[in-house]
Structure 1
Amino acid sequence: MAGLTAGHRPAIAVATLFTLAGSAMGLAQPLVARDIVDAARHGRVLVPLLVLMGLFVAEAVTAAAGRFLLERMGEGVIRTLRHGLVTRLLRLDMREYGRHRTGDLISRVTTDTTVVREAAAQALVDLVSGALVSLGALSLMAWLDPLLLLLVAATVGAAALVVTTLLSGIRAASERTQGAVGDIAADLERVLGALPMVRVHCAEDREAARIGTRIDSAYAAGVHTAKLAAVMSSAVQLAVHGSFLLVLVIGGMRVGGADSLGELVAFLLYASYLVVPLSAVFHAVGLIQRGMGAYERVERALALPIEPDEVVGPADCAGPTGRDDCPGATGPTGSAEPAASDEPAEPAGLVGPAGRGGAAHHTDALTFRNVHFAYHPDRPVLRGVSLSVPRRGQIALVGRSGAGKTTLFSLAARFYEPHTGTVLFDGRPATELTRHACRSRIALVDQNTHIVHGTLWDNLTYADPGADPSEVQRVIQQANLTDLVDRLPGGLSCTLGERGSTLSGGERQRVALARALLTRPALLLLDEPTSHLDALNEAALTRVMHDTARQCALLVIAHRLSTVQNADRIYLLDAGRITATGTHEELLHHSPAYRELADAQTLRGPAT
């Protein structure tokens, strides 16, 4: 709690002063009541009654102000916590998204922080105010009658012992509950994201049963927490009520005169004052334990590694013995030069841009030099890939599924860093540039055409929210979206469904293409751009690609060779290696593997 509220100490201090003032006024009321009882036989009670009424009103006002300040502080703590979580989750290292479920991460921002908010706001209010009132009441009770206070202290101490033994169990049970709630969110996000598949396979009941298991786990953990909380609450109530009865019985037996009757009334009022604040204190302690159980999950999310954006130069990587984990460091000296390998950078006899010598690298928008990469250490994906993409023109990557084509795009976008080898942008190693600088050069249209909830305009201008309307019209025409804009109710202002559910696959793909073209990137990456397009739109896209290649670098992944047969250069990947490179016609004559791909699609180029 101290760490969470570190930036809100002034607000806590002011709120505590208000709470102290309110507590002092509340604690003064039994003393005034004592005077009223003792002065009743003389009929002089008007002034003490007015004083008592004034204390009631003043206590209510100051207590309300103190509670509001503490509640506002608690909301501020959680706002800061949520901002930090969202910022962290949006910048996680890409590998972390594969290790954690999206729904569970979302749950930490929503559900877990809500539990923490209750601890930081409500529990802190009850803890501060309840503790102050209880301490004041106990002090005045000690002044009035030390013997009766010992009886009260004994019963309250017994309750405190019970509470202490239960706290660790409450915290652990709360963490299990929050974990189960996170699993529910993750499973539900999984199902809703694939709802058409679920329904067409009649799997609603099976998925409901799967999520129901998570719900049952949350229920069991919640019941266990409730059981511990119920035992704790009962112990507190028995102790407080028991101490009140002891004071009433033993104090009543000791009453010996009018004066002592007023003192007994005051003592009983203080004992009654202990019921609510002391119960609130014990309840707050339990609530804080539950909140800290949720906060541990939040802390683990905040501790996940993020994607660094600083420049990693030779001073950061190179050392006396070199570091194999540094991006671009491949040899024992930490050099970014290709490591010795028995694999040629280019297939013999088919020399492409990557094999033209050092001068070409300085005119290329993107270069891979002997790049090795693996998502898992024992399963390499890329094995010494070298290729170049000139500043103008169309370069294509073809090959079977799993050959490593999409991984090359991920490295170009710097979602990952190569284990060895070097990626260069405009002749400069990527490690000498920030990720932001690298990504500002590129635009990416991947296989999963991402459409966000919002209007068509929002989706088209996502990368450039302040885009000029004439530029938007330009890309609408380039991506052949005019008919879609005319068809949608409201045109560009039409709200698209979640994940673009109101659009067809081809329409989503063309929207993503238009969004990429709007930024006029230096390098455009297209991953399977025709996978959802009909023949008419595929022909239109081919024209767009041809026009785009005259303005910027274009790197295309394609399974349909018809999409890339007019590319300036085609690289054939197989099992993480480039096995052939050349134009479409050159590869048909020199590469049996390429001919096999072409035969599978009954495509043999213009000659046929």
Structure 2
Amino acid sequence: MGRVRLGAFYSVLNKLFDLAPPLLIGTAVAIVVEKEDSFVAKLGIEDPARQLTWLAVVTAVIWVAESIFEFLQKIVWRNLAQSVQHELRLDAYRHVQGLEMAFFEDEDTGQLMSVMNDDVNQLERFLDGGANSLIQLLTTVLAIGGIFFWLSPAVAWVAFLPMPFIIWGSILYQRKLQDRYKSVRTAVGELNADLAGNLGGIATIKSYAREEGEAERISARSDAYRTSNRAAITLSSAFSPLIRMFILAGFTATLLIGGNLALEGQLDAGSFSVLVFMTQRLLWPLTGLGETLDLYQRAMASTTRILDLVDRPSKIVGGSTVLGTDAVAGKLEMQGVVFAYPGHAPLFDGLDLTFPARSTTAIVGATGSGKSSITKLLLRFYDPGDGQVSIDGHDLRDLELRSLRRSIGLVSQDVFLFHGTIAANIAYARPDASEADIRQAAAAAELDDWIDTLPDGLQTIVGERGQKLSGGQRQRVSIARAVLKDPPILILDEATSAVDNETEAAIQRSMEHIAEDRTTIVIAHRLSTIRNADKILVLDKGRVVESGQHEELIAAGGLYAQLWAVQTGERPQEVEART
């Protein structure tokens, strides 16, 4: 608030000095016409020439002061606008980061980008100039009103007669603009959403030769945005011309009434000059009120969207217990877990699972059986509707979220790499890691030989989402990232589902190395990658239908044996004979 008060103070002084020239003109006219009887002569300067010299000095001082305070108010308001923009965007981003994963699955990324970027910028634009304009307009009305009633109350009421109509018109326009700018903000959000989605899916668009179709779809969105803007522009553009009609009435009345008073000797020439100039200074800035209100309504529509986002509560709230990574044994349990995605039938209905500490447990099953949903529950991306998920006996809902997730490393089939270097992506969980530690993690993921062939080595740029790397290379960078994090619990979610056999073998060796002496959960589609797991859980429609080691499950001839036969072509009897 201190900067707001300082900016307002500079704005008021800037406008007061800006209003001084009409007074100086009136004083100059009085000196020339009245000479020794002028207002300045009453201050003790009787010689007209000396009066003009004194007036010139005062003029110079006023102009310099006006320029200084204009500079100061712009510095304060613009820096304040930048600070508010920065803090509001950061607050919105921090809040969004804390929302549950379901929010991101329901919301469009483009809409979120529109709120955190374009809407925040709209507020910055208003603070950059609109706030100062409103303060200076109020200062103008009060200052000139005082001067008018001091010089000639009979003329003052005529000059101020248009003001109620202008204020009424401003309020009316404000209400009408409000709804139109809400439509504009919604339309631009939808346009940004489609643009972001298309740029992210450009490979799919090209592969299906859908460039023209997508261009037409973006054109339709852009045209909807243009139409929404056109409706708001039509209304806001009509404001200033209508205000000018009221200004014309006020200025003409001042000219006629004040002129007649001067002709009758009831008003001196200098005062009449001041009134004529001041009427213009009073009413003409009101033409800019339309633009200021336009900025204000855009800012308010944007602010509403920002606050709606910031006020949205997170459905996943961390507890107070801090889980020390060094103290984690790594035993995970799911007891009586009931879970369903919003709008879907229950996936788990009383699921019981145990993942022993410092052992490797594999989860297999058909698509949709619930394998990846277990990962989301263990990381507390979602909470169960009933039952409990725990780590070392602690209910996950009692744990501080960051300490929980620092204890778990995730290597997913959908690898996300940030635009930057290989080194920065490997060290994502430990930004302060040394180059030696990064190279050691890369070696564990069997990346070191490949990195040594690159001209820039670890400093090679991977591109957005790692697009400059192959699928296998991205997966190994992800494994190296988990190795460097060194969590007591490691989850490998379909980590080899999208790579070739050679890369799969390399990744398998890496996983066996990093799984030592930690709790490891391997979610796999390729059964060959989990043959050596301490325990294999077979899921079907959200239930564990089989449990055991590879040979036991093959011998049982159940669902696991059927999946194995489909993938390898071997019958269970053949496997038993070889083992």
More helix, by proportion: 2
Does TM, scored on the shorter chain, surpass 0.5? yes
**Hey, what does 2:111 align to over in structure 1?**
104
The one of 539, 559, 570 equivalent to 2:525 is 559
CA deviations 1:156-207 (Å, max 9, x no partner) are 3223222221111212211211111111111111111111111010111111
Kept in 2, the 8 Å contact 1:71–1:125? The answer is no
The one of 13, 20, 23 equivalent to 1:31 is 23
Q: Secondary structure at the match of 1:186?
A: helix
> Within 1, Cα distance between the matches of 2:15 and 2:330?
74
**Hey, what does 1:323 align to over in structure 2?**
none
Change (3 A) 1:363 1:83: closer
Q: Secondary structure at the match of 2:182?
A: helix
Moved more, 66-75 or 417-426: 66-75
**Hey, what does 1:263 align to over in structure 2?**
271
Q: Secondary structure at the match of 1:401?
A: coil
**Hey, what does 2:143 align to over in structure 1?**
136
Kept in 2, the 8 Å contact 1:369–1:387? The answer is yes
Q: Secondary structure at the match of 2:455?
A: coil
Kept in 2, the 8 Å contact 1:458–1:465? The answer is yes
**Hey, what does 1:330 align to over in structure 2?**
none
**Hey, what does 1:121 align to over in structure 2?**
128
Change (3 A) 1:506 1:466: same
**Match for 1:589: what amino acid?**
A
Equivalence map 1:125-524=2 (5 Å): 125-256=132-263, 260-306=268-314, 308-311=316-319, 365-376=331-342, 378-524=344-490
Kept in 2, the 8 Å contact 1:373–1:419? The answer is yes
**Hey, what does 1:338 align to over in structure 2?**
none
Shift of 1:312: 7.2
CA deviations 1:312-360 (Å, max 9, x no partner) are 79xxxxxxxxxxxxxxxxxxxxxxxxxxxxxxxxxxxxxxxxxxxxxxx
Moved more, 439-448 or 238-247: 238-247
1:91 counterpart = 2:110? no
> Within 2, Cα distance between the matches of 1:481 and 1:493?
14
Shift of 1:281: 4.1
Change (3 A) 1:393 1:158: same
Moved more, 284-293 or 240-249: 240-249
Shift of 1:550: 2.3
**Hey, what does 1:590 align to over in structure 2?**
556
Kept in 2, the 8 Å contact 1:134–1:277? The answer is no
Shift of 1:254: 3.5
CA deviations 1:218-239 (Å, max 9, x no partner) are 1111111111111112222332
Shift of 1:556: 0.6
Moved more, 431-440 or 516-525: 431-440
The one of 546, 560, 564 equivalent to 1:580 is 546
**Match for 2:286: what amino acid?**
L
Cα RMSD of the aligned pairs, angstroms, is 2.1
Shift of 1:428: 2.2
> Within 2, Cα distance between the matches of 1:545 and 1:289?
56
**Match for 1:289: what amino acid?**
Q
Kept in 1, the 8 Å contact 2:547–2:553? The answer is yes
Q: Secondary structure at the match of 2:568?
A: coil
Q: Secondary structure at the match of 2:161?
A: helix
Kept in 1, the 8 Å contact 2:329–2:488? The answer is no
Q: Percent identity?
A: 29
> Within 2, Cα distance between the matches of 1:191 and 1:28?
57
The one of 57, 65, 85 equivalent to 1:58 is 65
Kept in 1, the 8 Å contact 2:99–2:313? The answer is yes
Change (3 A) 1:116 1:364: closer
Shift of 1:452: 0.6
**Hey, what does 2:75 align to over in structure 1?**
68
Kept in 2, the 8 Å contact 1:447–1:528? The answer is yes
The one of 506, 526, 539 equivalent to 2:505 is 539
**Match for 2:287: what amino acid?**
S
Q: Secondary structure at the match of 2:380?
A: coil
Shift of 1:257: 6.4
> Within 1, Cα distance between the matches of 2:145 and 2:287?
14
Kept in 2, the 8 Å contact 1:452–1:499? The answer is yes
> Within 2, Cα distance between the matches of 1:283 and 1:240?
17
> Within 1, Cα distance between the matches of 2:293 and 2:345?
50
CA deviations 1:385-429 (Å, max 9, x no partner) are 222222222211000000000000001111111111211112322
**Hey, what does 1:20 align to over in structure 2?**
12
Q: Secondary structure at the match of 2:346?
A: strand
> Within 2, Cα distance between the matches of 1:102 and 1:279?
39
CA deviations 1:235-257 (Å, max 9, x no partner) are 22332244223322343344326
Q: Secondary structure at the match of 1:367?
A: strand
**Match for 1:375: what amino acid?**
Y
Shift of 1:451: 0.7
Shift of 1:35: 2.1
> Within 2, Cα distance between the matches of 1:513 and 1:262?
85
> Within 1, Cα distance between the matches of 2:563 and 2:535?
16
TM-score normalised according to structure 2 size: 0.91
The one of 32, 36, 49 equivalent to 1:40 is 32
> Within 1, Cα distance between the matches of 2:414 and 2:431?
22
Q: Secondary structure at the match of 1:601?
A: helix
Change (3 A) 1:114 1:363: closer
Q: Secondary structure at the match of 1:380?
A: coil
CA deviations 1:73-108 (Å, max 9, x no partner) are 222222221110110111112111122101110111
CA deviations 1:548-589 (Å, max 9, x no partner) are 332211101111111111211110000111111011111112
Q: Structure 1: 5+ residue runs without aligned partners? A: 1-8, 314-361
**Hey, what does 2:38 align to over in structure 1?**
none
**Match for 1:459: what amino acid?**
N
